[in-house]
Chain A
Amino acid sequence: MKYEIIVVGGGHAGCEAALAAARKNHKTLLVTSNINNIADMPCNPSIGGPAKGIVVREIDALGGEMGRNADKGALQTKMLNTKKGPAVQALRFQSDKVTYPKEMLKTLKSTKNLEIKEAMVENLLVEDKKMKGIELEDGTKINADAVILTTGTYLKAVVLTGSKKTPSGPHGEKESKFLSDSLRKLGFTIKRLKTGTPQRIDKNSIDYSKTQEEKGDSVTHTFSFDNIVYRKPEDQISCHLIYTTPKTHEIIKEHLNESSMYGGYVEGIGPRYCPSIEDKVVRFSDKERHQLFLEPESLYYDDIYIQGFSTSMPPEIQDLMVHSLPGLEKAKILKYGYAIEYDAIDSKQLKRSLETKLVENLYTAGQINGTSGYEEAAGQGLIAGINASLKLEGKNPLILKRNESYIGVLIDDLVTKGVKDPYRLLTSRAEYRLLLRNDNADLRLREYGHQVGLISEEKYKSFLEKKENIKSLTELLQTTRITPKKEINEYIEKIPSTPLKDGISLYDFLKRPEVTLENIKHFIEINYTNEEQEQVEINAKYEGYIKKANKEASKMLSLEEKNIPEDINYEEVPNLASEARQKLSEVRPTTIGQASRISGVNPADISILMVYLRRNN
């Protein structure tokens, strides 16, 4: 048996990796422990959110699957941060936990060059630091030129509730017992991370009169640039908002030491950005209440997910906690919350292509790299799939820059800074977030998607048309002028805006904060799509800021162009602080720009390094 690329794991990273490899015409095998669990959403029933939603758009722009699939499974759609600027707006969908995996499996099965195998991988076959294939639990060996590990939380997974520790993957799935040992033997540093999930409640046992309804938007949204709407706004499913009570906090405080976390049963480091309810109560003890969302998981069964209530308390305490919540006094708990511990590798042992530094043609993506979140996993999976393929094709890897995409920010952070706790993308991690908007993901990345062969000619053509239309609409507004005539100024005062004193182009007029493209339509007819109009409007309105961001980005890029030789010996660079010397040797940055982002490497170290490089040139 021989494949070009094997993907180990069928979660969100694995699906994207396998699809990208197969679509790029490489004979691909996806190995998963349970075919019914492919593209499962073991935690929250939603996709997107600030920064994360933009990643989904980026995946779609590059030719990945998550955006399209999320559109198919949408239960409720929302644009977040609409009261803020265009840079931070992002989509979040409530997603059907039955439809999403089902549709993904359908896509995988209908993809040419892609086979799916149900098995547990327990060993990696490596010769001369080069990937040769995998070994299954039963000893079967399967050869491959490249392997992508997307093992999620399954490596030596242990589920914890209270003092009880059970070796198991999420929801009773089988865990991988030895694969992380195999990685350790190859020289990888293995870390222990932790995450958790809340209870699932029977929706028929909730008193909704004590909750506050949270509806979706009244307009349609799609993640994919295909713009196909599967759920009409009026058919959306609502979520419900409740708050913890003083009693809830009392119960938690009283039983704190019975939780896995506070009882000292957990070794792994949990995410700072998604704390358990125990953590919230302890760390923010001055807060009287915490917000919780009741989110429906699917149209096909009755589970309601309590977002914000993740816990590792023993079941009997969870009963007390849940019943202390308004509307949930008589709630029937279908699944208890738990914490899960798993092995991950040190992401600093990766190149920016997501290939490992230790083993050629071995790639990793998703939670094994220390991230959390479906979107972060899918983004990495797509890049790993693309780059494993490009490597086999003898081409340079696709490395997205920090000013081009959140995926680029994510991967650069992983390989440069590493992670201590599970990494979640935040808008504040991006220096140039004004450039990395929800609305322009295709303009930033579709070109790359086409280059690597994941965007069809037909889609590419319509993308080029869109670009052309944006340009021509911009020119139209720049060349059409309005003058301070009486009837024009009368209209302008009605907007209301300041009347003109001199002639002005419509483009400059649009720059006024109070003026919208709808106002411009009073003067000329505009036959462009909403997306095209939106681009022109954002470009005009935020021109100054966008220019500034581009200028900053070009400064960063100039440091990115300064390469550091691969064989540099940091012991030979005089005057470096010892911490910097150690960090640089560990990360081995490929450019000065990357080096400057390593924590513990100070500006002075960078200048010393540059002086050294200049001298030795």
Chain B
Amino acid sequence: MNDTIVAISTALGVGAISIVRLSGNDAIEIVNNCFKGKDLTKVASHTINYGHIMDNKEIIDEVLVSVMKSPKTYTTEDVVEINCHGGIISTKRILETMLTHGARLAEPGEFTKRAFLNGRIDLVESEAVMDIIDSKSEEANKLALSQLSGTTSKMIKKFRETLKQLLASIEVNIDYPEYHDIEVVTKNQVKTSIKDMKIELDKVIKESKNLTLIKEGIKTVIVGRPNVGKSSILNKLLEQDKAIVTDIAGTTRDIVEGEIYLDGVLLNIIDTAGIHSTDDIVEKIGVEKSLSMIDDADLVIVVLNNNENLTKEDEEILEKTKDKQRIIVINKNDLDKKLDISSKKLENVVETNTNTVEGIKRLKEKIIELFQLETIKTKDYTYLTNARQISLAKKAYQSLKEAEEGLLNDLPIDMVEIDLKETFDLLGEIIGETYREEILDHLFANFCVGK
């Protein structure tokens, strides 16, 4: 029923080996037709077979061919993987040979899509596969891998089980009101269950948010007046001269991006043009851009100059960033202290200078502390790892909260149950147990190149 698809499933380039993978009803036959070695249609499933891929009578490459028969394969269809010697030319020729023998070039994400559609993996797992392909850092990769084992699904299933029991007890009371000896679910019982679930869910959401940052990188924006040393701090963090650093105010007109890995976690650092009033049109655009960057940032590093008094512009920056996750860096602490911020009661203050390494080290430590990077690293990764899941979990949390409010307002238990049912459905949606058209549209729109 399924046509056979083929793709190069390793990154094209200089690697020791490349893998060309096929999936579909004719996968084994197609490879066999251009394979010199054992008859692949007769070998046992899950075996590796040595031989050569031929183009007519010409040997293209010496290969190892893994034959995996349906249903115990990634897609549940027959799957063949050709391990060939790396190198663009021969890998591509093998791919072309497969195409001429009847395979079709796979669409982006089609292997995973087939795995999902054939019921081999659930929604969370297929999203995790996309994450692996997409993951930018080591930590994210680990996170994606742990998802595949279904730990997220397990946790959500636990919540749903609790809710299911609660819902069932409430409904028995509704449908059999005349039975005096069926235990009546009291509002207090519901209250307790909701409270416990809320606490756990809240924790998961919060930590998941940090994990999203791990996966996608923490968007870090450095802001401050001109010439307080923003670019120097960036360079120290990046340990390379990316932004232009001079003593003339307003050198950094464009927003510069750099990436660093802090304990395996990606930090996307954005240097901004100094925020100050200016008539220069180019600079003005830069300043506006800087201000808008603050809104999108996960972390704002506000740089102040130890050697100058707090200015009106500094105060504006502090005001503008007060609701953000931020670190205040008092730069140039090797110069005379003229800055007085004692009245501001600021948290997360770090003193630095760019001539020594200590200050920058403290800054890095502060970042790690703020995002609890260390604790996350050592934890089991039982969390939600993408925006869709987190937003659903938040909605589920919200319904729980509404249920709680309902109880507080002394609404009848069957009304409160409506919110509990919604929570149940939302959690089901996270693991693909509730049907919603948008989920799949959303999911398939997000399949990336690769598997």
A contact set with B: CB distance below 8 Å = 50-51, 80-81, 83-85, 87-88, 241, 287, 289-291, 293, 426-428, 433-434, 513, 542, 545, 548-549, 555, 559, 574-575, 577, 596, 602-604, 606-608, 610
Contacts and interface: CB of A to CB of B under 8 A. Distances in A.
A109 B117 CA distance: 59
A606 B435 contact: yes
Contact of A426 (B114, B118, B119, B175): B175
Nearest to B179: A291
A542 B416 CA distance: 11
B411 A85 contact: yes
B205 to A, nearest CB: 22
Scoring B173, B180, B418 by chain A CB atoms within 10 A of each residue's CB, the highest score goes to B418
Nearest to B172: A428
Contacts of B280: none
A542 B415 contact: yes
| Chain B interface size range | 20 to 34
Contact of A50 (B1, B116, B175, B412): B175
Smallest CB-CB A-B distances: 4 pairs:
A85-B412, A603-B435, A428-B171, A607-B440
Given A428-B175, A575-B1, A603-B432, A87 B414 contact: yes
Contacts of A603: 432-436, 439-440
A185 to B, nearest CB: 36
Interface of B: 1-2, 114, 116-119, 171, 173-181, 409-415, 418, 422, 432-437, 439-440
B432 A575 contact: no
Given A548-B422, A574-B2, A604-B116, A85 B415 contact: yes
A556 to B, nearest CB: 10
Given A241-B180, A513-B410, A604-B432, 17 more contacts: A51-B175, A84-B174, A88-B174, A88-B414, A291-B181, A426-B171, A427-B175, A428-B171, A428-B174, A545-B415, A602-B119, A603-B433, A603-B435, A603-B436, A604-B116, A604-B119, A606-B435
Contacts of B433: 603
B177 A80 contact: yes
Given A291-B181, A575-B118, A604-B119, A545 B418 contact: yes
Contacts, number: 85
Contacts of B409: 513
B171 A427 contact: yes
25 contacts: A50-B177, A80-B177, A84-B414, A85-B412, A85-B414, A85-B415, A291-B179, A426-B171, A426-B175, A427-B174, A513-B410, A545-B418, A548-B418, A548-B422, A559-B437, A574-B2, A575-B114, A575-B117, A577-B118, A596-B435, A603-B432, A603-B434, A604-B116, A604-B117, A604-B119
B167 to A, nearest CB: 8
A606 B116 CA distance: 13
Nearest to B182: A291
A290 B117 CA distance: 48
Contacts of A291: 178-181
Contact of B1 (A88, A290, A545, A574): A574
Contacts of B440: 603, 607
Contacts of B174: 50, 81, 84, 88, 427-428
Contacts of A428: 171, 174-175
Contacts of B176: 50
Contacts of A545: 415, 418
Nearest to B409: A513
A46 B24 CA distance: 61
Contacts of A549: 418
Given A50-B175, A575-B2, A84 B118 contact: no
Nearest to A552: B422
Nearest to A579: B119
A428 B176 CA distance: 11
